[in-house]
Structure 1
Amino acid sequence: MKTSSSSTVTATITTTDSTAITAMIIMATSQLQQQQQQQQQPYNEQQLYDPYPDLTQISAIRFIFIFFYALIMISAALGNLLIIYIVISNRKMRTIVNYYIVNLACCDILISVFVLPTKMLELLAPAEWLALNNTWCTVMSFLQSVMVFASLLTLVATCFERYFAIVHPLKSRMQQGKRRTYRILLAVWLLSSFASLPNLLHGSMAVINVLKSEYGTIARLTCMPTFDDEFRMVYFTILFICLYLIPLALIAFTCFCIARALLRTSILHRQGSLLRQEVNRRKVGKMILVVVVSFTIAWTPYFLISVITQYQKENYFDKHDYYFTMLSINLFGFLHSSINPVIYLTMSARFQKGFMRLLRLVVCCQKPKENVGHTSIPDPGTSSRYSPNGNINNMPKIILT
């Protein structure tokens, strides 16, 4: 009897323990599934002040932004493609400074083709479209940072190249070369990618915001970084100092030296090829100065707002006009991508000739004439092995084949 009773008690305890363990397993499994569902959920909702006034709630203002964003996107893509074609299609245009210009044009094309449309979807498209997700937001935040930093560092490298070419021309001829230019451009992209890496590692989150005010109601799917507050403040402060203030200080120093050299140096005593080289060097220097000034004006609001909002005790974006402000400062920055080709075509005779050659090719359907295989005729009054006396009539007949 005792043996039977003890075995019964043991069986009861065993059954009770197995039931409790099974219940615990079921509860843990359900909690794990809920956590996975929350992690896999591509969209989150964020509560803002109600009412939340934003000028983009007005339809007319949204249409104005859409028009200008589309105009900049098309003009920047076509204009910078034109600049790249002009440089690549003409060997005489493949100079060191033009390599930097091509690199800057590549940055502008990537901005206009990838970053700018994403910003339009993020800040202007209705949230019901579900056009963005966490992965795409992360990639685009990383790409935008890389492009902006690469553009700024390319301008720094370009200014130093012009500084040595104008202020120290002999040192420039000895040290500057295509291989060195390639290494500098590679360093520009590596440094820009490294500085933007936290955007890729921490990621961004697609957040749905519904804004209501007397202006109307809008719902937007916005990309928000997932940095914690302390890291965000340190990160944006370092970027502002190391990748904005210091590069701008270097640009200001080189531009000041270039401008002083252009104003002080006289070219009246130079003749022939030296005169042409000096005139061309001055024109390129002035063109780079204009590009630098336009970049500084275009992107300064973006950098300033990015760092100022980190130190505000009460962020005004939490109360009003987040979308209008972000659309405005991004539009101002993207405008630089479409202005650059205009600066090149306006201030450089070589780019103007390349554009006219392409225009004739498109309009008249004619192939551009190649200089290879043709013999050039010297100008009258210049000595040559065909015309010792400088008389073009003494030259033998040349048959062009």
Structure 2
Amino acid sequence: MATMLEWRNMTHIPYESLITTFFVVECAIIGPIVLGNLLIITSLLRFHRLRKRIYILIGNLAASDLLIGIVFIPYDLVFLSNLELARRKYFCLIRHSLCNMFLGASVMNLLAISFERYIAVLHPLKHAMICTWQTMSMVIVACWVLSISLASLPLLGWNQWEENLPCDIELIYTKAYKGLMFMFFASSLIVNFIMYVKVIRTAWKQFKNCDKPIQRPHERNRITSKSYKKTKIMMLLLGAFAVCWGPYLLVVIFDTLFLEDNIAIATLRKFLSVLGLVNSGLNWIIFGLKNADFRKAFTYLLRCGIGVTEDSLAYSSSNTPV
């Protein structure tokens, strides 16, 4: 087990390489994150036809990604440029709390999107009744309240920060708080994965049968090809999240359950967290490539309306409420 002295000295961790890696990656992705997620939010505000329940949840995910680009990354760039800030208690705590807050919000937003698709695909007859605008609004508020509450606990006193202690979560967070965050992320990902598998299996089965003659009237309410496309986007979102954050979360889970405190594992976890930031710059690309509604909206906004009419946007949007 690593001693406190080893953690204080940090002689085995290549911090210069770590700081350089974070700085370069964050400088490279801040532009795409801000531009892309602003496009999504502006499209939802500008075009009434995009204000559907699933798209509002996507807009909420874009909001959490945008906050990473305009709040966390600028703060972290200043932090990395002036390591004297690491010796100040609240500068240090705020840095990690912002990361936990926006990562938690992304996980909860993906969970909300999975839940909406789960109801739409597995219980289509109950979708309109369960996934009302009021329900979606409550889900969005709950996502942010839970994420902000959990991330704020260290700022409210649940920490073990000491003077001249390195600004490292292994040192400033208590074991109980790290366990709580582990349970939060692990349970969210497990539930997300279960719904993810069920949605994929059911959507694929129904899509293969959609061209067959309809035998019973209620089957007309089953998944349509457009709903299937929305489900595919959900799959891509979760897939991108798994690729970017999966290695980091797996190391955290493995380290929490099976390993003692280890400086090498802590170093690996820090380098893998860099990949996780990239996820915030990928979601809007998925929408732009795979969703005709957002693709035309992006084109309209980027061209300032030149060569693209709002009528074509309205026509391309599905009239279904999903």
TM-score normalized with structure 1 length: 0.65
Residues 1:207 and 1:278: Cα distance change in structure 2 (over 3 Å): farther
* Structure 1: unaligned runs, 5 residues or longer: 1-45, 210-220, 377-401
Instruction: Give % identity.
Output: 22
Question: In 2, distance between residues paired with 1:316 and 1:355?
Answer: 46
2:205 aligned residue (222, 240, 264)? 264
| Map of 1:99 onto structure 2 | 56
| Map of 2:300 onto structure 1 | 357
Aligned residue identity for 1:68: V
Question: In 2, distance between residues paired with 1:258 and 1:321?
Answer: 35
Post-superposition Cα deviations, 1:114-133, rounded to whole Å, max 9, x if no partner, equal: 222333444x43535x4773
How far off its partner does 1:153 sit?
1.2
Question: In 1, distance between residues paired with 2:21 and 2:72?
Answer: 19
**Aligned residues of 1:107 and 1:151 also touching (Cα < 8 A):** yes
How far off its partner does 1:367 sit?
9.0
Q: Select the structure with the greater relative contact order (CA < 8 A; seq sep ≥ 6).
A: 2
Matches within 5 A, 1:115-264: 115-122=72-79, 124-125=80-81, 127=83, 130=85, 133-202=88-157, 205=161, 222=167, 232-241=174-183, 243-264=184-205
TM-score normalized with structure 2 length: 0.79
* Structure 2: unaligned runs, 5 residues or longer: 1-6, 215-219, 316-322
Q: Flag the structure with higher strand content.
A: 1
* Mapped pair 1:332 → 2:275: yes
| Map of 2:46 onto structure 1 | 89
Residues 1:247 and 1:312: Cα distance change in structure 2 (over 3 Å): closer
Question: How many residues are treated as equivalent by the alignment?
Answer: 300
Question: In 2, distance between residues paired with 1:190 and 1:270?
Answer: 47
Residues 1:314 and 1:261: Cα distance change in structure 2 (over 3 Å): closer
| Map of 2:32 onto structure 1 | 75
The SS at the match of 2:300 is helix
How far off its partner does 1:102 sit?
0.8
CA root-mean-square deviation: 3.4
| Map of 1:295 onto structure 2 | 241
Aligned residue identity for 1:253: I
Residues 1:131 and 1:254: Cα distance change in structure 2 (over 3 Å): closer
How far off its partner does 1:171 sit?
0.5
How far off its partner does 1:305 sit?
4.2
Runs of 4+ off more than 6 Å = none
| Map of 1:382 onto structure 2 | none
Question: In 1, distance between residues paired with 2:259 and 2:130?
Answer: 50
The SS at the match of 1:235 is helix
How far off its partner does 1:176 sit?
1.9
How far off its partner does 1:335 sit?
0.8
Matches within 5 A, 1:29-48: 47-48=8-9
| Map of 1:11 onto structure 2 | none
Question: In 2, distance between residues paired with 1:346 and 1:127?
Answer: 40
How far off its partner does 1:154 sit?
1.3
| Map of 2:319 onto structure 1 | none
Which protein is bigger by CA-based radius of gyration? 1
Residues 1:249 and 1:119: Cα distance change in structure 2 (over 3 Å): same
